[in-house]
Amino acid sequence: MPGPHPAAGRVSLAGFYFLYYATVGIVLPFLPAYLKSLSLSATQVGLLLSISPLVSLLAPPFWGHLADRTGRASRVLTGLTVGATLAFSLFLVARSFPALVASMVTYAFFASSFTPLIDSLAMHYVARSGGSYAHLRMFGSLGFIVSAIVFGLLVAKVDQTLVLTPLVLLTLLIPWTLTLRDSAPTGLRPHPLAGLRLLRHADFRWLLAATSLHWVACAPYHGSLSIHVMELGLSPSVVGLTAGAGVLAELVVMALYPRLAGGFAPRHVLGFAFAASALRWVGMALTSSAGVMVALAPLHGLTFGAFYVACVGFLARRVPPELRASGQALFAAVTFGVGGLVGYTSSGAAYDWLGGHRLFAVAAVLELAAVVLVLQASPPPEGGPLPVESS
């Protein structure tokens, strides 16, 4: 029986990226300000934001192994979307700090695994049908741009609209997941610890050390930008415009990545991206101007766009297809889990202590350390991806 037409698979993947990252485009830049509006301190906001990376230490490896073990990543993703939608609805009634903690834990248990699973489906699709992962992933950036800019321009203040709008988008995402199809190799049943055993290879350890440190350095931007903007007396539209301009640059970088960076080793692209990020955070440390913040935002094309595509390329050269979801989940758990946990927890408290400008200066120093770490990785093995362990 013939499989789905390649164009249909491309539309399904691109549509999922668009809808999901449209949700992220509202939640990521505006949630800190919403939480602050509930009379929480910046430290409490930082603790709440650290919940998702804390859960990411365990949830993505669990769901990733389930997807590899069953060969049904698409249906696992459907279940995650249903769970995330129900969990996010809890924010409609959560007001106290304990209730918000419970809501964040429940939502993160499901939502933290979206990215590794959809990325694994995208990489399997590219391996089977050709094309570029970057050209699929850029639809996520497009969704982020549209939602961040439109939401930022339409709302006069951050209120419960921030909960209702993403909830609608998550609800739309549920039926869309039913259009996704699996194309992973079947027959092998990976050992439950096969994904974790990738850590035995030094290159993985260098990559994850550098990417998690990079994510720590990004925490002041992701976790404190809206608070910083409000305390400077600037309009909420600055948050939306900064985020939107940044992800517009991310979209351009992803569209051009195969042509401009495809011939470079991923570790070299990562080193360049981290150095550019250091320059960006230095600029944020020195300015209180809305115009300068928006002008610095295009460097986000390197901070996240080139960074993320290069990481996926790094993994694709070293992880066997049978472990692709587990490999992506390991990357997510360490980079966004450990890095996010340390970053959000420390940046929330550091913001209260140092203020926004000094906090961005610290982030610049961390990026330079990440450059040194990632350049320790060696070229990928000539024999192809590492062998899978099965049971």
pLDDT for 171: 96
Segment (H or E) for 119: helix 114-129
Residue 189 corresponds to which amino acid? R
pLDDT for 382: 56
Q: Please tell me which of 46-50, 212-216, 305-309, 339-343 the model is most confident about, judged by mean pLDDT.
A: 212-216
The domain locations on the chain are 8-374
pLDDT band at 381 (very low <50, low <70, confident <90, very high): low
Helices (H), 194-306: 202-231, 236-260, 266-286, 290-296, 300
- Give the residue among 275, 273, 274, 293 at the shortest CA–CA distance from 283: 293
pLDDT band at 261 (very low <50, low <70, confident <90, very high): confident
**Spatial separation of the C-alpha atoms in residues 182 and 205, rounded to whole Å:** 29
pLDDT band at 184 (very low <50, low <70, confident <90, very high): low
Q: C-alpha distances in angstroms, 1 versus 4, 73, 168, 180?
A: 10, 21, 36, 17
Least confident of 215-219, 228-232, 345-349: 345-349
Whether 344 and 46 have beta carbons less than 8 Å apart is answered as yes
pLDDT for 262: 66
Whether 59 and 113 have beta carbons less than 8 Å apart is answered as yes
What DSSP designation does 388 have?
P
Q: Is the pTM of this model over 0.85?
A: no
Q: Is 279 or 152 the better-scoring residue by pLDDT?
A: 279
Question: In degrees rounded to 5, what are phi and psi of residue 267?
Answer: -65, -30
**Spatial separation of the C-alpha atoms in residues 23 and 220, rounded to whole Å:** 20
Whether 325 and 68 have beta carbons less than 8 Å apart is answered as yes
What DSSP designation does 226 have?
H
pLDDT band at 391 (very low <50, low <70, confident <90, very high): very low
pLDDT for 31: 85
Per CATH, which fold does 8-374 belong to? Growth Hormone; Chain: A; (1.20.1250)
